[in-house]
Structure 1
């Protein structure tokens, strides 16, 4: 009897560790039904990163906790995952960070990179910037796990974006020429939760096929997503600036797509003022669930659901055959 009790206690402790995380990595489980409601699983990932972990400054203990959480979630979903460590020196201080990479084989060996950064600034909780993007990254990876896709997909959670796109820059610089030629595009997600409007951007001209195909999905599904209207001549219609993780790939000649929520029709017309009511929320103390859900009830849920639907369909049906690179 004593032996059975001991075994039961050990099993119970193991079960608890599976829920709250072990010493080296966190393994959090969720109800499988969440993945059947667009945006629901993304919300849970976003909330965990922002509240169970908190702000995730590059090189901090919390950024490492976020890396472990993301790696464990890719593992729970069923992906083989690689952690790409890197370091950089800034003002004489060396900081260590990492990228978390999961690979999904597709019908073609040609691949598309889908990424979002998981670090944040110290102010607020980093809900919008960018737990929201990582939430969609993980949700869509789970939705598509057993669905054949036209191209293979490289899901990447980038570290240290806030200190100069360090993770995406490191990854891009270490791609071989063969990998670059094999990559049809890169889709970036950054700050999806709070902006007044939902947008998809892309490379100029024919290289903007990701944006163009996303807009076709938007029309078909009647999603509330637009693109940069081009009011500011520095940022032509349909494109955006080079301030996020798509930029290092664009410099390699890889076409990009970019999902974001902001407002291009206020302030300096450059997308930095996200809302009419409160201006920018990213990089402020207001980047919390309490503030966003109080000031904009239902907005987070609408945005996560919409972006999840759009990205899922885009990756399921993407067709580059009519474009050139």
Structure 2
């Protein structure tokens, strides 16, 4: 694994420190943040977007982001590995994979891509998803879960889902059979409404259980209402890292913030006031927090709570897989 050396410095009122290289001496945070829903996720999101910046696939910044994520998994104490891959004759990236043992040898994969486009800083798309991924991994590290959990930060999503395609193409038949489902986290911070999606029919059990948790805990999470016949109620399109898993027959759940009731009713226009934020120069904390005060914190808290409870209480009574 490649390592980088960085100078000792302190950020954010003494709560953030980097010492040495990214994995041996990772960025550390006040432990109390892991016990405040969404607070740790916010710090991770902020670090990826502002201490690293835009994370274009194959770039030095994307590599720095991978090292940061690897360091955070190591800090938490999870078994971690980096899966390097080439996606063209000149471009390479990596998936950062961490494993948490559960009560069962069956596994659930939770993934979020860490690369971004060049416009903006990739706060919403997808430092927000990685933040929730890392917070959930830390909260659950000492909690028994029904299934083992594989946390994956995917590289090169923005150039054709390269990381998730590489990962699924290198899964054995036994691994595929052993995987209960995949939960994808993408663009959680700014959309007008929070959603969870899943497969049609009985393979949509992850979505259904998430909605039941949201109802019980009074979380403002719903699913695609199905106004567009191309995207039936409860489902979504194959444009994010859940798609390669779906193609292998693995049921998926997908957390996202957007708005399915405006524009072409396809979920692409995230907000009434500004349309899509992802892939634009508006994908920064300054813009999002000025236009939508407290929305980022509310979304990260809600999604972190939902994902944590989903992984703690997941069952598969509604599927025969």
What TM-score, normalized by structure 2, do the two folds share?
0.94
- Which residue in the other structure is 1:20 paired with? 18
- Which residue in the other structure is 1:104 paired with? 100
Secondary structure at the counterpart of residue 97 of structure 2: strand
2:272 counterpart of 1:273: no
Once the two structures are superposed, what CA deviation does each residue of 1:241-262 show, in whole Å capped at 9, x if it has no partner?
A: 0000000000000000000000
- Which residue in the other structure is 2:174 paired with? 178
- Residues 269-308 of structure 1 correspond to what in structure 2 (within 5 A)? 269-308=265-304
* Counterpart-to-counterpart distance in 2, 1:105 and 1:181: 17
Secondary structure at the counterpart of residue 277 of structure 2: coil
* Counterpart-to-counterpart distance in 2, 1:45 and 1:23: 17
Structure 1 residue 20, shift from structure 2 partner:
2.0
- Which residue in the other structure is 1:122 paired with? 118
- Which residue in the other structure is 1:69 paired with? 68
Secondary structure at the counterpart of residue 303 of structure 1: helix
| Shift in CA distance, 126/21, structure 1 to aligned 2, threshold 3 Å | farther
| Shift in CA distance, 293/24, structure 1 to aligned 2, threshold 3 Å | closer
- Which residue in the other structure is 1:214 paired with? 210
2:184 counterpart of 1:188: yes
Structure 1 residue 321, shift from structure 2 partner:
2.7
2:154 counterpart of 1:158: yes
* Counterpart-to-counterpart distance in 1, 2:151 and 2:115: 16
- Which residue in the other structure is 2:258 paired with? 262
Secondary structure at the counterpart of residue 156 of structure 1: strand
Once the two structures are superposed, what CA deviation does each residue of 1:273-322 show, in whole Å capped at 9, x if it has no partner?
A: 00000000000000000000000000000000000000000000001033
- Which residue in the other structure is 1:7 paired with? none
Once the two structures are superposed, what CA deviation does each residue of 1:94-150 show, in whole Å capped at 9, x if it has no partner?
A: 211000000000000000000000000001000000000000000000000000000
- Which residue in the other structure is 2:30 paired with? 31
Question: Structure 1 regions of 5+ residues with no counterpart?
Answer: 1-12
| The structure with more helix, counted as a fraction of residues | 1
Give the root-mean-square deviation of aligned CA atoms. 1.5
* Counterpart-to-counterpart distance in 2, 1:53 and 1:16: 15
* Counterpart-to-counterpart distance in 2, 1:265 and 1:290: 26
| Shift in CA distance, 98/317, structure 1 to aligned 2, threshold 3 Å | same
Structure 1 residue 187, shift from structure 2 partner:
0.1
- Which residue in the other structure is 2:45 paired with? 46
Secondary structure at the counterpart of residue 304 of structure 2: helix
* Counterpart-to-counterpart distance in 2, 1:235 and 1:197: 17
* Counterpart-to-counterpart distance in 1, 2:54 and 2:200: 34
Secondary structure at the counterpart of residue 143 of structure 1: helix
- Which residue in the other structure is 1:5 paired with? none
Question: Structure 2 regions of 5+ residues with no counterpart?
Answer: 1-5, 11-15
2:55 counterpart of 1:56: yes
- Which residue in the other structure is 1:4 paired with? none
Aligned residues: 310
* Counterpart-to-counterpart distance in 2, 1:225 and 1:65: 33
- Which residue in the other structure is 2:143 paired with? 147
Alpha-carbon contact 2:224-2:236 (below 8 Å) kept: yes
* Counterpart-to-counterpart distance in 1, 2:112 and 2:261: 25
